[in-house]
Amino acid sequence: MAGMRSVGSLNGSRFSGGDCAETRPFSSACGRAFLVLVKVVSEKAEREIATYEAERRLDGSLRALAANMLRVVRGAGRAYEFSGQMADVLDAMQAYRDAAGVWPSDQQLSSALRLREPDYLETLPEHGQDRFYAERSIVRGALQIAASELLGQQTQKAAGRGRVAPGAPGLRARRGSDACGSGARVH
């Protein structure tokens, strides 16, 4: 690399300036190399931002569709919104592919719909955490029962019942007080 000298770094990436001499540390050749590097870094940052925004849009559209479907399954919801919501999901998936260069992974899609623990869970007293986990067990079991019932899968439906049953005693044990200990009845 005769005639090349390192001019500096940006984001940990070294760049060279072609015929940059000690007496001309930022000659026009050096300036062009720097501008090319800045452009590459800028384009990468823009792509990362676009991918992030597309992923947030996809997460939101998936959650809206899933929540509406769950409400329709339980007897409420707005089934007439399905086609628009499905189109939003497909548009968001295409926007993600355009931004990231790949389709969203199974893990990304699953993560968007996965039930999460709330940030405040660690701050709850032990009985509040117990109540949360009992409710979560019941919710997961009920979701499994509903999905299995839609598909006529009796074995899976029974497994869902097995998830609901362990959560029920945890709620009954705390029936006289809510998660914060205020004494409010749970219905």
Beta bridge partners of 14: 9
Q: What is the pLDDT of residue 184?
A: 42
Structure-token pair, residue 159? 């497994």
User: For 10-27, b where at least 16 C-beta lie within 10 A, e where not — what string?
Assistant: eeeeebbbeebeeeeeeb
Q: Over the stretch 80-96, which tens digit does the pLDDT of each residue have? A: 999 999 999 999 999 99
Indicate the pLDDT class of residue 117, thresholds 50, 70 and 90: confident
Q: Is the dihedral of CA 37, 40, 43, 48 positive or negative?
A: negative
Q: Over the stretch 9-67, which tens digit does the pLDDT of each residue have? A: 444 444 454 444 444 455 566 666 666 555 556 667 888 888 999 999 999 999 999 99
Global pTM?
Answer: 0.64
Q: What is the pLDDT of residue 20?
A: 47
Q: What is the pLDDT of residue 116?
A: 86
Distances in whole angstroms, Cα of residue 99 to Cα of each of 47, 48, 92, 104, 136: 6, 8, 10, 11, 35
DSSP secondary structure letter of residue 81: G
- The residues, ordered by sequence, that sit 6+ positions from 14 with a Cβ below 8 Å of its Cβ are 6, 8
- For the chain, give the mean pLDDT: 77
Q: What is the pLDDT of residue 114?
A: 92
- The residues, ordered by sequence, that sit 6+ positions from 43 with a Cβ below 8 Å of its Cβ are none
* 105 compared with 180, residue with greater pLDDT: 105
